[in-house]
């Protein structure tokens, strides 16, 4: 199980949370995005695209 796999699973669960509970969780999600973007800039960029597109 690679680091990317863990992040992907995290993304799926986080997206589900966002859809069920709006702004408060979305703010937390954005903070998570910034953390991921800092740790892995390439992967973080694709994450931003996915979350914005959905």
pLDDT in tens, 36-49: 666 555 555 555 55
- Token pair of 1 as six digits: 């199980």
* CB-based contacts of 47, cutoff 8 Å, min separation 6: 7, 11, 33, 36, 37
Better pLDDT: 8 or 16: 8
Report how many domains make up the chain: 1
Q: Name the pTM for this structure.
A: 0.28
Better pLDDT: 48 or 13: 13
* Surface-to-core class of residue 47, CB atoms within 10 Å of its CB (0-12 exposed, 13-18 middle, 19+ buried): buried
pLDDT for 12 equals 76
User: At 16, phi and psi to the nearest 5?
Assistant: -65, -40
33: nearest Cα among 19, 53, 52, 5:
52
Better pLDDT: 36 or 53: 36
């Amino acid at each position: 199980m690679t680091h990317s796999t863990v992040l992907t699973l995290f993304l799926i669960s986080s997206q589900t949370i966002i859809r069920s509970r709006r702004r408060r969780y979305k703010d937390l999600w954005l903070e998570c995005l910034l953390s991921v973007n800092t740790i892995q800039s390439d992967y973080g960029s694709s994450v931003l695209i996915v979350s914005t597109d959905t």
